[in-house]
Structure 1
């Protein structure tokens, strides 16, 4: 199946080609024709499944048929849970949109930064990507209107609800016109998501993309049994001895992330922390440097890392184990993607051993545990 088989116009197909997209992902094959037919859609898919382009491409197609407007009334709204995802989605819109004859104006709005610069840019916006709280702030200031919305996309609906945005979401939905197209994407089908689906979608096309195997074959997993006080030296040893150029390290708390980052830098290993207490500017800069290959180590907490999507990431380290096996899978899934091999390393203390067994049992795979007593570091 090719993109040319999905009902897209020559202009969009040319944009896809110029963006170096070759074959459509399964979710794109099913979603694009349904969205072009103006159907409501339910997409059950994990991060990395290609879902962003699955809804962006047909939305851009429809906008090519409309004239440029100069009002503050937005035709397309994409609601996302985090700042990083907002920026990421808007980046995809810009990537495809820059090749199109009818220029599409997109904006990403989120909290943690000044609202005034965001307000100034909103007039004439075709696609608004927004976190719920900041969207309501802008509506309250009459900076934007969603009363004539044509298409609503709710991306990562489970995370939107899990982060406590239900009240904000209810308020947003109450302000929308009754007649509109609704596209909802979620990685899980929790009860709260099911209730939202019943409320939001009318006779939807349902697409379910089965998640990849819990432990992709291309990910080489290793665990090291190490005393708590020796974790930092071991991590530095692994990075330097292996000459690792790009490493994503997971810490379970902001304090640990900051302390670990400071120690790495003190020992000549360039590192930056990435968590919710960092300003948006600092997070954007850290991610830009890390993706660009100029930053060697990014130390992240789980919540912040939801927005990190790097196609070829060679090394992931669990400096501390996450609370749930599901989070462990999400962490190691940052590597070994798009056909590239990857390495996932976990640092295990004696206190972690029972929890580590639980994670392995859930994965249905046992990982070699290397005793570090004989390692010189």
Structure 2
């Protein structure tokens, strides 16, 4: 379906054309008209299916008619779980906002960097993209006020509503006006979180775009059953023989990420590790270099499993499997994005292979879709 039928302004349609967006994805087709009308939305769709644009475009349209004039009183609040995702979502707002007749200023705020520049930059902001912890710090410093929020967006909603963010989210909900538009988006939403969404959403439009079908149709999944001590040599062999120029490798810890990256470097493969213990500047620079092709292999924890859009990434490798199928979905969703083909390889140790085979009900279609290779 063309974007021209969704009620977007000519200015936004021109930018979409310039950015080579030729057609609306299913999540955009359903969400954009509903958000333009001011309704609540619960959108569940596979990673790489256009969820960010599905709320950015209509919210920019709505802000043309309804913008808060008070300084430091933002109209739209987008909450995200990671610093990297905050930057990426803000980039989408920044891509489209300059084309609008009335200026819309957006800003990403997150921890790990000095708070003072962010406090200054909040002057005149209409759209704030934030991680919960840093947002609470800014509220406490009276650098921003949430009493005039018209729309709340939870990007990666399942992560934002789980126990890790529970206290911070409860504090933020208490600061928001009761009457507001609520938009929740995620690639996955577990059953236990459905009850939480009930008190957040008012008669929402529920959009569920068969994530399993989308991912499985675009991503070739392979599992190598391999002894733990042979994972490193196998990883290097795959990278060199398949001649990948851009590979994202996932590990279970920052320590393991550093160890894997160090081994790759020692064997002549350009690699960098990225995880939560590194400074924001180092993380941002490593991701920038990886996206630009300056770094061949980026070894990461689940820090980069959610929401990060790396265009045409050919391969994702699970050096270690995550603890849950939901995290596995987010990891492999970094490849095969926007209808492009991708490959997801998992290096499965013997003990983990037993667990995987015995937990098909828990892992569902993803465990059965794995194409096993010979134990090495």
- Residue 47 of structure 1 corresponds to 47
CA offsets 1:269-300 (integer angstroms, 9 cap, x no match): 11111211111111111111111111100101
Q: Please, what TM-score do these two structures have when normalized by structure 2?
A: 0.91
**Aligned to 2:337, what secondary structure does the other structure show?**
coil
Partner of 1:180: 180
Structural RMSD (CA): 2.2
Q: Which residue of 1 aligns with 2:374?
A: 370
Deviation of 1:163 after TM superposition, in Å, equals 5.3
Match of 2:165 in 1: 165
Query: Bigger shift: 71-80 or 345-354?
Result: 345-354
Structure 1 counterpart of 2:79: 79
Q: Using a 3 Å threshold, how does the CA distance of structure 1 residues 88 and 186 change in structure 2: closer, same or farther?
A: same
> What is the alpha-carbon distance in structure 2 between the residues aligned to residue 197 and residue 366 of structure 1?
32
Greater mean deviation of Cα atoms: 145-154 or 358-367:
358-367
Name the stretch that deviates more: 201-210 or 54-63: 201-210
* Aligned equivalents of 2:217, 2:209: Cα separation in 1: 19
Kept in 1: contact 2:67–2:126 (CA 8 A): no
1:147-192 Cα distance to aligned partner (Å, 9 max, x none)? 1122211222210122522222222122222332222224444455
Q: Is the 8 A contact 2:219 2:336 kept in 1?
A: yes
Question: Helix, strand or coil for the counterpart of 1:213?
Answer: helix
Tell whether the 8 Å contact from 2:305 to 2:327 is kept in structure 1 after alignment: no
2:221, 2:369 within 8 Å by CA — same for their partners in 1?
Answer: no
Quickly say closer, same or farther: Cα 1:326–1:26, change in 2 above 3 A: same
Structure 2: how far apart are the matches of 1:99 and 1:276? 35
Q: Work out whether residues 75 and 150 of structure 2, in 8 Å CA contact, stay in contact via their aligned partners in 1.
A: yes
SS in 2 for 1:338: helix
Q: Give the structure 2 partner of residue 193 of structure 1.
A: 193
Structure 2 unpaired stretches of 5+: none
Please name the residue that 1:144 is paired with.
144
Q: Which whole-Å CA distance do the structure 2 matches of 1:308 and 1:101 have between them?
A: 30
1:333-372 aligned within 5 A: 333-358=333-358, 362=364, 363=366, 364-372=368-376
In structure 2, do the counterparts of structure 1 residues 311 and 107 end up closer, same or farther at CA, with 3 Å as the change threshold? same
Q: Which residue of 2 aligns with 1:117?
A: 117
Q: Distance in 2 between matches of 1:367 and 1:167?
A: 41
Secondary structure of 2:107 counterpart: strand
- DSSP 3-state at the match of 1:17: helix
CA distance in 2, matches of 1:7, 1:108: 27
Q: 1:282 and 1:358 mapped to 2: Cα distance?
A: 40
Q: How does 1:1-377 map to 2 (within 5 A)?
A: 1-65=1-65, 69=69, 71-162=71-162, 164-190=164-190, 193-213=193-213, 216-358=216-358, 362=364, 363=366, 364-372=368-376
Higher mean displacement: 359-368 or 169-178: 359-368
Q: TM-score, normalised by structure 1?
A: 0.91
Unpaired segments ≥5 residues, structure 1: 373-377
Regions of 4+ moved over 6 Å = none
Deviation of 1:24 (Å): 0.7
How many residue pairs are counted as aligned between the two chains? Answer: 372
Deviation per residue, 1:107-157 (Å, 9 max, x gap): 011111111111110010010001111111101101001111222112222
Distance in 2 (CA, whole Å) between partners of 1:190 and 1:219 is 22
Q: Displacement of 1:198 after TM fit?
A: 2.4
Give the match's secondary structure for 1:96: helix
Question: Which of the pair is proportionally richer in helix?
Answer: 2
